[in-house]
Amino acid sequence: MANDTMTIRLVLRNDRLSIKQKQHLSLTGRVLTLVLMYAFLIFMAVLMIFPFYWMIITSLKTGTEIQAVQQTYWPTVIYWENYSQAVSRMEFGNVIANTLIVGIISTIGTIITTILAAFAFARLEFKGRDAVFMLLLSTMMIPGEMMVNTNYITVSLFGLTGGSGGIGPYVAMIIPFMVSIFYIYLLRQNFKQVPNELYLAAKVDGKSDWAFLWKVMVPLAAPTLITICILKLMGAWNSYVWPNLVSGGETKYYLVTNALRNTFNSLNNPDDAGAQMAATVIVTVPLLLLFIIFRKYIMRGVGRAGIKG
């Protein structure tokens, strides 16, 4: 029986390039790739930073220079009076106090409801759990603006809108937003990363679900909870439509964004444009500092929620 033989022929392509020339081309390609990548990143960074730069220089311009046809990229005369006018006219003490009251109380309420709901959907076994959770997730596709009318009718029936006096408008600004489906989903995904054996061991040890939640689950999910706190505070700081609606136009209930919009009349008074931009700079700085200080917690919390181990 004849043996079958197979011949393998290796063909080397002669591109007439030496090893040094190939290394040089490879290095050139890597350098060119890095240059193009960093050029793109720098361009995008400038594109993102430019609106903030324009806001700052506008806050230092006079009304005449702001309304000029030929715009300048640096104020010809630095007009610091815009900042003093912004502070005096916006009543920062009152609006910041209102914003902090609404933001802190609504954040605490959101944290409590989020922890309890996320633990129930992640660990407790009850009939229809997954169906209820999917139904709640589907509500995230409904625009928030569609809820404004129904929420306003509800708080009006309880006399919680502007004109009722007392703490009614504060309650109306807090209660409807103490539950967030997105935050429940975010924390549930984090809770599901905790090994089930740890939960069973705690049950064998005689721990209740309540004790396991607060002594084990909450400490392990601390980065995600910090992320939720930061995002919720930033959302309360930036909210405009709902607070403006329930305040009824009463300045004593204004939050930061409402005061920014309703205090100045930049369309009819050019000088108000600079003061309004100065006020915008003042209220933007705390958010930037908050993000810079806690950015690693935000990235870590969101990142951990997206990994199921």
pLDDT in tens, 227-249: 888 888 888 888 888 888 888 77
Q: What is the pTM of this model?
A: 0.75
Task: List C-alpha distances in Å: 235 to 76, 100, 104, 167, 183.
Answer: 36, 12, 11, 21, 13
Using the predicted structure, report yes or no on whether residue 178 has a pLDDT greater than 60: yes
Using the predicted structure, report yes or no on whether residue 108 has a pLDDT greater than 90: yes
Query: Which long-range CB contacts under 8 A does 269-274 form with residues at least 24 apart?
Result: 269/63, 270/63, 270/64, 270/66, 270/67, 271/62, 271/63, 272/63, 273/58, 273/63, 273/66, 273/67, 274/58, 274/59, 274/60, 274/61, 274/62, 274/63, 274/66, 274/79, 274/82
Kindly report, residue by residue over 111-152, the tens digit of the pLDDT.
Answer: 999 999 999 998 888 888 889 999 988 888 888 778 888 888
Confidence of residue 67 (pLDDT cuts 50, 70, 90): confident
Rounded CA-CA distance 232/140 in Å is 16
Using the predicted structure, report yes or no on whether residue 14 has a pLDDT greater than 60: no
Question: Pick from 92, 231, 258, 114: which is nearest to 173 by CA?
Answer: 258
